[in-house]
Structure 1
Amino acid sequence: MTPPGVSIVVPTVGRPCLGTLLKALGPLPDGMELVIVDDRPDRTTRLGLPPDSPARVLPGRAAGPAAARNTGWRAARHEWIAFLDDDVIPEPGWTTRLIEDLRRAERMDGRIGGVQGDLWVPLPAGRRLTDWERVTAGLAGGEWITADMAYRRAALARTGGFDERLPRAFREDAELAHRVRRAGWTLLQGSRSTAHPVRPESRWISLRTQRGNADDALLRRLYGPHWRDLLRIPPGRRHRHAAIVTCLAAAVGCAAVAGTRAGGRFWPVAATLATAGWAAGTAEFAAARIAPGPRDRREVTTMLLTSAVIPPMAVAHWLRGWFHWRGAEPLPEVPAGLQRVVTPTDAITIRPEKADEPDDSEETVRDDEGVRAGARR
């Protein structure tokens, strides 16, 4: 069987890990192209590609990974589109195994629309994992994660691709997989393997990732109360967070009324009970995060502080998303006769003589990096 043509699409924000990915990929076989979507809002520096890089570089819209991947696959030349994140490390022989996965899909059924790679997370040995390490490790059990996921072009065209209303690296892959399956395609687990290292992050990363709750609110609007079951997403803690925030609001309100000395002893007692409910809920949340971790001073302090802040942040982002996306509807399927064919006329082939150092300043890294893993709680 002739090897299927494959376009590898990598959205990037110019992080140095892109070079590690390209080195791990090595020379590409015939019938395979590499498309890099540079999604930095400020492209004043080069990406630091090696001089002999065959990559086609497309300018992104700085609108998040969903939009960047759409830009990439619509400009790609081949029938199969393999998506990789710029912070993964494909195993040796990854391109060969990718072709084998796609050949198997072609032999089995023409309705197979996608094949997932085996994603694994290298973790430190000999010690307990931090909260962030445990969150990242959860990626290994995820389904249809586009850190390494290949889709048939026809499946992407039929569904319209990624929903760009999901601007973070969070849920956008599960949502696309649902629409692809709903359109009648089948998704498979492949044999290729890719490592997803734990990135160094700020100790406050769990606060930043709460922005993903706004995306959860959109998905609730689109798919109803059973959206997690439809998209095969594990249960979260939103209802517990809401209970904690309710207790906190009640405690503040009752204390304010009690301060006016109206209502006798009722309001002080109510304020005490509500405060106890808030404290108990916050303590349970913190204990659930501290218990499996290293329990050193830094980790315990971080968990205590963030566990007090996460519930109100999570609820606030959820309410923001719920209000913003009122009336939202799922993306419609695109009829075969109206599917858009995009040619790669806006592509740039970069073969720099001397690559500039990538800009690793905070401004070139999206604020939502890490959200894919981080807002599962």
Structure 2
Amino acid sequence: MKYSVVIPTVGRPNLDELLDALVEGEGPEPVEIIVVDDRETRLGPAAARNSGWREARGDWVAFIDDDVVLAPDWKAQLCADLAGLPDDVGASQARIVVPLPEDRKPTDAERGTAGLASARWITADMAYRREALARAGGFDERFPRAYREDAELALRVQDLGYRIVRGERVTTHPVKPATFLTSVDQQRGNADDALMRRLVGPGWRARIGGQPGRFRMHVLTTAAGAGAVLCGLLGWRRAAVRLGAVWAALTGWFAVRRIVPGPRTADEVVRMVVTSALIPPVACWHRVRGELRHRRVRP
């Protein structure tokens, strides 16, 4: 069995260790290891992966993110997962493990990364049959971030009649470094959700096994806040107070839901309070931006 490895990268520090694990690890060697450097073009991981697999010569293409940690025998595990798979299997997904702190509850950012362990079809470690990639046309390069592009491809591959199976190989995905505004920056994904809805239909979230989103609550919170400001400017004090109370209640409820599962340290509480006020309007802005940008997209 011939397989290739494709790694899109923006130069993360872990890349050298990842390449060492691939070169020195136990198991059959890949036909090639293709690293696609996206630091200059910034076209996104979808475009980088497409560049990689189209140059690959293996019957299977294993996509790996540049921030994962591979087991010493990852190559052997991968080949064991792929060996003997019937022709109707188009892809094999690894089992992703996200190590969390053992001495405290995880932060909001850490819980977000931990969700990768149960996510479907993520390309942190995903091997596709090259034939399936060719028939599906590869990743949709209109997805500019590492968000939704892998699930959208998986849906198209399955619509062609292929199955996607979960292998036995285990890959570790460390918790991503987070800043104070990481959760706010992540709201850019709402624009990609708009593209998913255009491509897959209104039931796209159920098809990928996702949890119900919070966008409607974000719209309500943003509308209450904007209404309170507008009424205040117009001199409608009573309406401004009432709408302000609605905004405060919704924002507080959102913050509490994020604070309770975490370590509840002072800095985490402050972060949750501030970002819980910022997230709703930012999410709405990116969703509107996505709807306008992709308004002409058809399935």
Report if TM-score (shorter chain) is over 0.5. yes
TM-score by length of 1: 0.77
Partner of 2:269: 300
Q: Residue 109 of structure 2 aligns to which amino acid in structure 1?
A: W
Q: Is the 8 A contact 1:162 1:176 kept in 2?
A: yes
Where 1:110 maps in the other structure, the secondary structure is coil
**1:7 aligns to what SS in structure 2?**
strand
* 2:31 equivalent in structure 1: 32
SS in structure 1 opposite 2:298? coil
Name the residue aligned to 2:163: 186
Question: Residues 161 and 271 (structure 1 numbering): CA distance in 2 closer, same or farther, change over 3 Å?
Answer: same
Other structure's SS at 1:114 match:
strand
RMSD: 1.2
Is contact 1:174-1:232 (8 Å) kept?
no
SS in 1 for 2:83: helix
1:88 and 2:68 matched: yes
Name structure 2 gaps, 5 residues minimum.
none
Counterpart Cα distance in 2 of 1:231 and 1:124: 28
Task: Report the alpha carbon displacement of residue 128 of structure 1 after superposing the two structures with TM.
Answer: 1.1
Matched, 1:174 2:173: no
Written as runs of structure 1 = structure 2, the 5 A alignment for 1:188-207 is 188-207=165-184
SS of the residue 2:5 aligns to: strand
TM-score (norm 2): 0.96
Structure number having the greater helix percentage: 2
The answer for the alignment partner of 1:20 in structure 2 is 17
Q: Specify the code of the residue in structure 2 equivalent to 1:35.
A: I
Show the 5 A alignment for 1:1-377. Answer: 4-27=1-24, 29-41=28-40, 61-105=41-85, 109-257=86-234, 259=235, 267-330=236-299
Greater displacement, 200-209 / 125-134: 200-209
Between the two proteins, what is the percent identity of the paired residues? 53
Distance 1:203 1:24 in 2: 32
Can you give the 5+ residue segments of structure 1 that lack an aligned partner in the other structure? 42-60, 260-266, 331-377
Q: With CA pairs under 8 Å and 6+ residues apart, which has the higher RCO, 1 or 2?
A: 1
CA distance in 2, matches of 1:10, 1:136: 20
Q: Deviations over 1:72-102 (max 9, x none)?
A: 0000011100000000011121100101111
Q: State the distance in 1 between where 2:133 and 2:185 align.
A: 30
Return the offset for 1:31.
4.7
Runs of 4+ in 1 over 4 A off after TM superposition: none
